[in-house]
Amino acid sequence: MEKPMRFTLIFYSIIFTLTGFSQQTKLTDAISKCKKGEYVIMEVRMQLEDEFQTIEGNEAANLSRVAIFTGKNKNNELLSRGFSGYNQVVQYLNQIENFGFVLNQTYSIKGNSLLITHYVFRKQKR
C-alpha cells in the first residue's frame, strides 16, 4: 500500500514541476522576440475574494489568471489560470525585467467581481 502512495506523490511532483517549466517557457517565448522600445503588458486578474489571499492564492478561482500581451502573441497570452499568490507575480515581474524591460506604468481596474492590474513594461536594452 505504501508503494502506490509513493508513486502517486512522485507522479504529481513531476507534473507540477513540468507545469512550472512550461509557464516559464511561455513567458520567455513571448517576450524574447521583443525589440528595443516595444511595450509588453502583464495582466493579473483576480476575483475580489482573492484580494485577501495574496500569499496562499486561490487555484480554484475560475476567473483569476496571469497573462502577457506583446501584440504578437495572439492565442498564447495565458501564463497561468487561477491565482497562486503574489510570489508568482513577483517571479514574472523579475523575469520580465531580466529580459531588459523597465516598468513604465501600473494601473488597476476594479469591477463588480474582478480586480485587474496591468503592469506596462518597455524594452530598454538588448
Which of these ranges, 79-88, 89-98, 111-120, has the smallest mean pLDDT?
79-88
Residue 84 vs residue 102, higher pLDDT:
102
Separation of alpha carbons 18 and 12, rounded Å: 10
pLDDT at 59 over 70: no
Owning domain of residue 45? 2-123
Question: Which segment of 19-23, 48-52, 72-76, 118-122 scores lowest on mean pLDDT?
Answer: 19-23
Q: How confident is the model at residue 22, as a pLDDT? A: 42
Residues paired with 103 in a beta bridge: 121
Q: Is the pLDDT of residue 100 over 80?
A: yes
Between CA 12 and CA 48 the distance in angstroms is: 30
* pLDDT at residue 80, as a whole number: 82
Residue 2 pLDDT > 90, yes or no?
no
Question: Total structural domains in the chain?
Answer: 1
